[in-house]
Structure 1
Amino acid sequence: MSSPLETSRTDTRPIAIWLLGVAALVALMVVVGGLTRLTGSGLSITEWKPVTGSIPPLSAEMWQEEFDKYRQIPQYQLVNKGMSLDEFKTIYWWEWGHRFLGRLIGLAFFVPFVWFLATGRLRGRLAWVCAGLFVLGGMQGFMGWYMVASGLTERVSVSQYRLAAHLGLAFLIFAALVWVALDILRGTADEIHRRWVGWTGGLVLLVYVQIVLGAFVAGLDAGMIYNTWPLMDGAFIPDGIYTVPAAAFEQHLTVQFNHRMVAYLIAILTVIFCWRVVAAGADRLQRRAAMWFATAISVQILIGIWTLVAVVPVWLGGLHQFGAVIVLGVAMVQLHIAVHGTPDAGRTQALARA
């Protein structure tokens, strides 16, 4: 009798494709969110209406009403005072698009989820895992509003802490979607590469930490200053770092310094890891994964340096954020290979039937 967890790839491949499609939408959401922040648009919609908010203003009166609401918050009064209605419409459409994409992702997940359940393709442990992913998506929607709310009363921008939580959860959802899809497509039978789990798991963790640190840089606009490389304020290790409480999260100098140093640490560990993989005679799949990861890291660091010295133009900032998605995605593939090796299709165990 077959194991209750066994299923064929034919049965579950559409589920994997669906999850990867949602992951691609989450990646797009991350980039659009970054561009929304870089264009100063994130506070243009001052209310959270999960359902009715999907309809934009449809008349001159409705546009004026939205503009009047925006003119009541500190960002308008202290930063954008005198903004025209047409200028407001530009930032409004960025934020509306960001929120609309979030709603679209919810539908893109929920409708196929219900259909797969109804047709019996999604069941057992995999069904519960997917339900958990849906709950995380709902939490992300709430976290987005919680972040926006921090900039509506006393601040002219959102809290960097809430921004980091919002972005960190988005990347966590993306990583989970990719991992579950890989479990389905590749299976989980073999464990031939477990010797590399520590290295690959550590690199995934560092990449995630670096992404969160990048959110603090973004939240404080810390990339707009100290725009030289490799020196920072005239030194590799500048004076004045860690001189105030909570400097790692609130001091511009320290926040940017941390982001630089973790990037260097990831680069060094990646070189060591690749050398060890080659020297140990690891198989072709593991070597290829390591090289792809090293390439992604190298390109992302170069884009990061370019973004910094160019003083964060909007398009480069968006590209750098997209690069972070690619790095994490490649890192998750590398970790999956390390944990599960190359499962034999005839012995594949997926997550699902019970």
Structure 2
Amino acid sequence: MKIAHWLLGICLLIFLMVAIGSITRLTGSGLSMVDWHPATGLTAHLMLAVAIYSYILWVALGLLAEDRPATGYTMDIDKLTGKSLMLLVLVIITMVSGGFVAGLKAGLIYNTFPLMGDTLIAPGVYFLSPWYLSALEDAVTVQFNHRLLALTSVFLIVGFYFYSHKLELPSQTKNLLILVLFAGIVQVGLGISTLLLRVSVLLGASHQAGALILLSSLLLLHHHLKNTKPV
């Protein structure tokens, strides 16, 4: 019965994703295969796909954990569970901002790093009124937000790894932490390369795949931490 509920939830998410994808591609002459109206439609469509993937992965991990429960619990694991969840949320928010970058084609401007042109913060960031519209409709602000969120994410991932490195943890936990660290560093490297090369198709696709790999590694880690209990 539990699996039936999970499958129903996945079906509902897929239906919602298809509905949003269709609505946001409507034009005066029918469905467009290239235009999204507005850019929030692409982001919503993208994040629903991510939600479906994450849901399936989480359910699969739960089923595996029933047959092979994690062992090697130490009290230090409890110190990491909440922090891993915060990192997971931050990475998801960064992915949302990446959806807006794609929707507004914000990767085609300010193709320099770490500066945006000649300054650290480009002129015109958050210039729309009310201010929050800039985060949804202004390409300059959207790119700035994605840069800030991505760099914050990778710095916190590195800090999280070195914090956990001092703790007494089972080998499986340590391996997952290394995976998260590696995925985070590679992903930010792909993002910078994609920006500098004006979003080549290969790098753009690799950057999207890297985001899923980083998300997956954090889901694996968080699920492991939540389900490693004292024997």
User: What TM-score comes out, normalization by structure 2 length?
Assistant: 0.88
Tell me whether 1:264 sits opposite 2:148 in the alignment.
Answer: no
Report the equivalent of 1:199.
83
Quick check: 1:185 aligned with 2:69?
no
Match of 2:11 among 131, 134, 139: 134
Alpha-carbon offset, residue 184 of structure 1:
0.7
Aligned with residue 200 of structure 2, among 296, 313, 324? 313
The residue identity in structure 2 corresponding to 1:126 is: I
Aligned-partner Cα distance in 2 for 1:146–1:339: 38
Q: Highest Rg: 1 or 2?
A: 1
Distance 1:305 1:131 in 2: 39
Question: Is there any run of 5+ residues in structure 1 with no aligned partner, and where?
Answer: 1-123, 345-354
Deviation at 1:150, TM superposition (A): 5.7
Q: Does the Cα contact within 8 Å between 1:277 and 1:286 map onto a contact in 2?
A: no
- Seq. identity, %: 33
Q: 1:231 aligns with which of 115, 122, 137?
A: 115
> 1 or 2 for the larger relative contact order (CA 8 Å, sep ≥6)?
1
Q: Which residue of 2 aligns with 1:22?
A: none
Runs of 4+ in 1 over 6 A off after TM superposition: none
2:181 counterpart (294, 317, 332): 294
Residue ranges of structure 2 left out of the alignment (5+ in a row): none
Shift of residue 137, structure 1, vs aligned partner: 1.2
Once the 2 structures are TM-superposed, how far is the Cα of residue 151 of structure 1 from its aligned partner? Answer: 8.1
CA deviation profile, 1:1-25 (whole Å, cap 9, x unmatched):
xxxxxxxxxxxxxxxxxxxxxxxxx
Mapped to 2, the partners of 1:291 and 1:190 lie a distance apart of 18
- Cα distance per residue 1:264-321 (max 9 Å; x no partner): 1101111111111111222222211111011001111111111101001112111111
Determine the C-alpha separation between the residues in 2 that align with 1:150 and 1:329. Answer: 35
Amino acid at match of 2:63: I
Distance 1:243 1:324, change over 3 A: same
Q: Match for 1:279 among 157, 166, 175? A: 166
Q: Aligned Cα RMSD in Å?
A: 2.2
Mapped contact 1:186–1:343 kept (Cα < 8 A): no
Secondary structure of the corresponding residue to residue 25 of structure 2? helix
Give per-residue Cα distances to partners, 1:117-140, cap 9 Å, x unaligned: xxxxxxx22221121112111211
Structure 1 CA distance for aligned equivalents of residues 120 and 82 of structure 2: 30
User: 2-side partners of 1:309 and 1:292: how far apart?
Assistant: 26
How far has the Cα of 1:189 moved from its partner? Answer: 5.8
Contact 2:70 2:224 in 1 (8 A): no
Distance 1:152 1:303 in 2: 37
- Normalising by structure 1, we get a TM-score of 0.59
Distance 1:206 1:152, change over 3 A: farther
